[in-house]
Amino acid sequence: MATKQSATPLELKRLGEGIHPAGDGLYLQVSKSGTRSWLYRYQIAGKRRAMGLGSAKLTDSDRAGGLSLKQARDKRDEYRLKVSRGIDPLAEREAQKQAEAAEQAKAESQQSETFEAFAGQYIKTKRAEWKNTKHGDQWENTLRTYAYPTIGSVHVSEIKKSQVFDLLEPIWTTKTETASRVRNRIELVLDFSYAKLELTGIDNPARWRGYLDKLLPKPKKITKVRNHPALPIDEMPAFIAALRLHEGMSPLALEFLILTAARTGEVLGAKWEEIDEVAQVWKVPPERMKGKREHQVPLTPAALAVLEKAKNLRMENNPYIFGGPRKEMPLSNMSLNQLVRGMSCDGLNEGEPPRWRDAKGQSIVPHGFRSAFRDWVAERTEYSETLAEMALAHVIKNQTEAAYRRGNMLERRRPLMADWATFCEPPKSEQETGPN
């Protein structure tokens, strides 16, 4: 047989189970099942070591990916040179593997601690407390559109103030409301991430006060106030007369909204359990109020009459006062808008302009009746501004006054709402015939 150093691949392939020398520290290892692999044995610092070089490919029929005899000898020579220089190749390889594992772990950690990853966690955590299920979708959509392209893949601890400014600045004056929401959402996600990672001493780069307020104009200075188109107050009786010509839950809900000066969502979400018919009060719970505080609405005889009509149309087991066609569901948000649009075209001949427009000629919307109520208080009554704001469930802007005002002025609001109902009531003849 040939010497160890000059053994041919075919001679090595004939060897059976065991560890066979192939020259100068190189060995062929044959397992019981017949698989073959290369070993390099060496001694360094008085210790004997052995390291695998990979599977062996001695003939073309062996599995792909193995090392040929020549390739194994080249590997051995590479490692022999390192040993001669006092370098342990096995220890070096193990150290490299550990470094690669650490780098991989760091990369995975970085991936799970990016802004986008924490934004997903935040939205998932907060969904339960958001009363509108679409709110979470709005969060995801705005962050995906405006934040993720710039900072989505960045580790939260490495997001810079300049990056936040750069993503906000292009939309700050053109989409001010959206931009302001994006800034606030970025700030909340980052605060959340810092708490989760127990990071301290980090200045939130999306913070408004002390940083972005120095670089961007205040939203209120550039956002045009858009008032909801409201019916001129002198047309209220005629509108109520026209409204009462319509049947169903939607007309009742709209009349109740007008008589209580409430928001659309508050009316459509109203449940029978909120009505105290003895005290003649509608108690709107905090979770359904914009200001997150209970709002008590005095109910006039006209409002109670609307509720009585709603009882007669009530579907069995539906807890909502103004229930929709689906079981245990309220009317949709669009129902009142569609009603108002339809009323604007009632009885019109082709080419005639729609009825029920605001002073600028715009089509009115349900929310505009709150503005009509406010205009009526200011222009036709002696009731105070504070009383009107309380009736509308607005937050008192004067913090000092708000701190001292503990009551809800319910009894003082009763005559206010009664006078409003009287003002809106159409003459009897008009109720019977409707507007021309």
pLDDT higher at 19 or 347: 19
* 429 and 403 within one domain: yes
For 92-101, 376-385, 407-416, which range has the lowest pLDDT when averaged over its residues?
Answer: 92-101
Q: What is the pLDDT of residue 14?
A: 87
pLDDT of 403 over the 50 cut: no
* 242 and 101 within one domain: no
Please write the tens of the pLDDT for every residue from 38-52.
Answer: 999 999 988 999 999
Interatomic CA distance for residues 105 and 107, integer angstroms: 5
For 81-90, 300-309, 353-362, 382-391, which range has the lowest pLDDT when averaged over its residues?
Answer: 353-362
Residue 281 covered by a domain? yes
pLDDT band at 191 (very low <50, low <70, confident <90, very high): very high
Using the Cα atoms of residue 82, residue 84, residue 85 and residue 89 in order, give the sign of their dihedral: positive
CB 154 within 8 A of CB 114: yes
Q: Average pLDDT of the chain? A: 86
| % of the chain with per-residue pLDDT over 70 | 89
Region for residue 140 given its phi and psi (left: phi exceeds 0; alpha: psi -120 to 50; beta: otherwise): alpha
Using alpha carbons only, give the angle 50, 85, 78 rounded to the nearest 5 degrees: 55
Q: What is the pLDDT of residue 23?
A: 87
* 198 and 243 within one domain: no
Order of strands, edge to edge, in the sheet holding 281-284?
275-276, 281-284, 295-298
* 357 and 241 within one domain: yes
Helices of type H across 29-68? none
What is the domain-level CATH number for residue 58?
3.30.160.390
pLDDT band at 372 (very low <50, low <70, confident <90, very high): very high
* 101 and 122 within one domain: no
Helices of type H across 353-409? 368-380, 385-391, 399-404
* 394 and 248 within one domain: yes
pLDDT higher at 241 or 430: 241
Q: What pTM does this model have? A: 0.52
pLDDT of 405 over the 80 cut: no
pLDDT of 400 over the 50 cut: no
